[in-house]
A and B are shown apart, each in its own frame.
Chain A
Amino acid sequence: MSVGLISLLLLVLAALGFVVGRQRAVASVNGDARRLHSLPNYYGTGVALFTAVPAFLLMIVWLLVQPVVIETRVTEMILPEDIAGGSSRDLVMSDVRRIAEGVDVLAARGMAEGEIARLAVDVAALKTRLADAGVALASDINPHVAEAAAVYRADVATGRAWLAVATLALAVAGFLLAAMQVTPEFRARNVVERFIRILLIGASSVAVLTTIGIILSLVFESWHFFRLYPAKDFFLSLTWAPKFGGGSSLGIWPLLWGTLYVSAIALLVAVPVGLMAAIYLSEYASKRLRGIAKPALEILAGIPSIVYGLFALMTVGPFLRDWFAQPLGLGDSSSSVMTAGVVMGIMLIPYVSSLSDDIINAVPQALRDGSYGLGATQSETVKQVVFPAALPGIVGAILMAASRAIGETMIVVLGAGAAAKLSLNPFEAMTTVTVKIVSQLTGDTEFASPETLVAFALGLTLFVFTLGLNVLALYIVRKYREQYE
């Protein structure tokens, strides 16, 4: 029975549970719902939740655990001599999985199980039939591997069957247990609310646990990298020259410098423009203009960054080269830090302006009135009262924009190029940490050499960096908030 079908059955059971629970509740007081502790729908919801949720949780856990268990069992079957020279246990296991999948395709096309059993012994025939099914294998199939594939396939099928039995049994058990509990005194409302609270806690812990998982995987892979490549060179070397043959120089500074340089230019563009736009929109613009201009500005935020990248490549880059870089004698490359920075700044304007606008709007009108009442003009009021009051929030908005600038990749690839360089000239091509992470991991590479593993160390550095920035933002906001509120 497939997972989709099981889910459907569970949902049907839950719906049935709702109806039954509700009816039992109403029937238990002879139709007078006022004598129930809770509204009848709560009884129904309670039964439905107890039917569906534990069963679905079991299904999720089962689907996560089953492949691991089967994989271990089958891996044990493969003997060391089955692994050909230059191959590895992992590659053989992937063959096993592919054969099993191919056989599944054959079975789905109507091949009888008896014939499949015969194929498992006749490896040459198996290979041709598999090729028909779209599974091409490089070498001849080792009979032992074919046998492992058959076991694998059988285990998956049994697992599925037990999964169906177990989840449906749990659902029915939950259904019956919950339905039996329905009495007029049963506090269905409280139970349902507690149940939902637990669900909410579960949902929030998923987010936290994922974050922890991501950090752990980064740390783990970075640790691998630092075993292969000295940390001193990574953090102190000033050259970035990866060579896949070996003997690379993997210093982070050129990349970090590029990141900071591009982000700084982006913020120099985005912060003044965004803030002034926000002040205009929130303090000066008429209601009608604001109604039009604010959404228009926010459309900028909806443009995918690759489109900004194209804009950088086709328009801004050549423009800056022809009108600034070449006349000033600063270079003749259309990819430059300036190009990427300016375009990224344009991308960040709506973030800064939209967030700041909301924050400025939240400054109480009483403060403005107080200032006007003392004979201050509008601009004095904005500069000396509204802006300082909104500052903590605005700093938060700017640091959010900074985090985005540091993590941005596409605009840099298309706007600033991919050359890792340490230079002060803003019209020279440079690159950033994120771009290099992408370029080190694209292509057919195995995760064993320092040239690929460096991506994780770069990612970890970037993560620590943005984490620091966020902590700083929190600190600033807290500090000023104490003073202002």
Chain B
Amino acid sequence: MNDMRLTERAVTEKAKMSARGVQVHYGTNHALKDVDVDILDKTVTAFIGPSGCGKSTFLRCLNRMNDTVASARVTGKIEMDGQDIYDPRVDPVQLRAKVGMVFQKPNPFPKSIYDNVAYGPKIHGLTRTKAELDEVVESSLRKAALWNEVKDRLAAPGTGLSGGQQQRLCIARAVATSPEVLLMDEPCSALDPIATAQVEELIDELRAQFSVVIVTHSMQQAARVSQRTAFFHLGSLVEYGETGTIFTSPRDPRTESYITGRIG
């Protein structure tokens, strides 16, 4: 663990989202048991744990993506800025505009690079003129560190980019709707080390504007990019706290076993 470049840990203590007693069932399978987590504002939170431990499931609860899975049933309470997001008055579509998501595999739409980024602003009517939209597209692509590579071919299909570029395009697409929280489900698992380094750098920059929640299989990655880490195991949250603490002096023996590579 000595090679880890631990990032600056100073964070605000204001909770952006808070989950209490969240349970998820897929049919008869109890996938997530009684999870309590506070996602802090302008902080990178990493979810780590072995495959099937429920970290992705919990991530998908935070923007109600589990609603699109017919067999999923979510109970418990998740609040965002004090508002229960599972309240019937909350429109999941609106919620997802505020809680953006980047997926494991880059999934650019079969459209031009420009249209990929403009998709969110267009459907939410965030811009009034073409010039404004151009500006949003450019600033989003800049934030995703992709602008210099694609500025001359905005009309080219997004699917023609390389894997790392595609993933950054997906991040730009999510950033364009100006979300308050950005969820990332193993965003680097399909990328090579160079593209991974670029995306990680990006995550650190995005933290200035909003909270980032990242699910990752790589403990080094969690240590590099996050300020808070949650360790999930067999559907339960085992330990949650400051990243440095989790990696250097975990309280729970299971966490210690996992980060030293004995379980997983």
Contacts and interface: CB of A to CB of B under 8 A. Distances in A.
A93 to B, nearest CB: 64
Would you list the 3 A-B pairs with minimal beta carbon distance, nearest first?
A375-B97, A373-B101, A375-B96
A373 B109 contact: no
Interface in B90-135: 93-98, 100-103, 105, 107-111, 119-120, 123-124
Given A375-B120, A375-B124, A484-B159, A370 B96 contact: no
A369 interface: yes
Contacts, number: 78
A380 B123 contact: yes
Interface of A: 287, 364, 366-377, 380, 384-385, 388-389, 483-485
B157 A372 contact: no
Contact of A375 (B94, B105, B107): B94
B174 A485 contact: no
Of B68, B110, B111, B173, the most chain A CB neighbours within 10 A belong to B110
A388 B158 CA distance: 14
6 contacts: A368-B68, A369-B107, A377-B123, A388-B110, A483-B157, A484-B157
Interface string B151-193: 0000001010000000000100110010000000000000000
Given A370-B109, A375-B95, A389-B110, 5 more contacts: A364-B107, A367-B110, A373-B174, A374-B123, A375-B96
Contacts of A370: 103, 107-109, 170, 173
A366 B93 contact: no
Interface string B64-104: 01001010000000000000000000000111111011110
Contacts of B93: 375-377
Interface residues on B, range: 20 to 34
A386 to B, nearest CB: 10
Contacts of A371: 109, 119
A365 to B, nearest CB: 9
Contacts of A364: 107
A118 B174 CA distance: 99
Contact of A369 (B68, B94, B111, B123): B68
Interface of B: 63, 65, 68, 70, 93-98, 100-103, 105, 107-111, 119-120, 123-124, 157, 159, 170, 173-174, 177
Contact of B103 (A369, A380, A384, A389): A369
A296 to B, nearest CB: 22
A262 B32 CA distance: 59
Nearest to A389: B110
Nearest to A372: B68
A372 B110 contact: no
**Which of A373, A377, A380 has the most CB atoms of chain B within a 10 A radius of its CB?**
A373
Given A375-B94, A376-B123, A377-B93, A366 B107 contact: yes
B28 to A, nearest CB: 18
A161 B16 CA distance: 95
A374 B120 contact: yes
A367 B157 contact: no
Grouping DSSP codes into helix (H, G, I), strand (E, B) and loop, the A interface class, with mixed when no group exceeds half, is helix
A337 B120 CA distance: 46
B204 to A, nearest CB: 22
Contacts of A366: 103, 105, 107
Contacts of A368: 68
Nearest to A368: B68
Contacts of B177: 374-375
Contacts of B173: 370, 374
Nearest to B176: A374
Contacts of B110: 367, 385, 388-389, 483-485
Contacts of B119: 371, 374, 376, 384
Contact of A374 (B68, B96, B157, B159): B96
B174 A374 contact: yes
A373 B93 CA distance: 9
Contacts of B94: 375
Given A380-B123, A388-B110, A374 B103 contact: no
A367 B96 CA distance: 15
Nearest to A485: B159
A369 B170 CA distance: 12
Contacts of B96: 372-375
Nearest to A369: B103
Contacts of A372: 65, 68, 96
Contact of A388 (B98, B103, B111): B111
A58 to B, nearest CB: 55
Nearest to A380: B123
Contacts of B100: 373-374
A369 B109 contact: no
A385 B93 CA distance: 16
A369 B111 CA distance: 16
A56 B124 CA distance: 70
A287 B123 CA distance: 28
A380 B177 CA distance: 15
Contacts of A389: 109-110
B214 to A, nearest CB: 15
A369 B108 CA distance: 11
A484 B112 CA distance: 10
B155 to A, nearest CB: 11
A377 B97 CA distance: 11
A171 B103 CA distance: 64
Contact of B109 (A367, A375, A485): A367
Contacts of A377: 93, 123
B65 to A, nearest CB: 7
A389 to B, nearest CB: 5
Nearest to A377: B93
A73 B109 CA distance: 71
A446 B195 CA distance: 76
Q: Which of A369, A370, A389 has the most CB of B within 10 A?
A: A370
Contacts of B103: 366, 369-370, 373
A374 B99 CA distance: 8
A360 to B, nearest CB: 13
Contacts of A374: 96-97, 100-101, 119-120, 123, 173-174, 177
Contacts of B107: 364, 366-367, 369-370
A484 B111 CA distance: 7
Contacts of A375: 93-98, 120, 123-124, 177
A374 B120 CA distance: 6
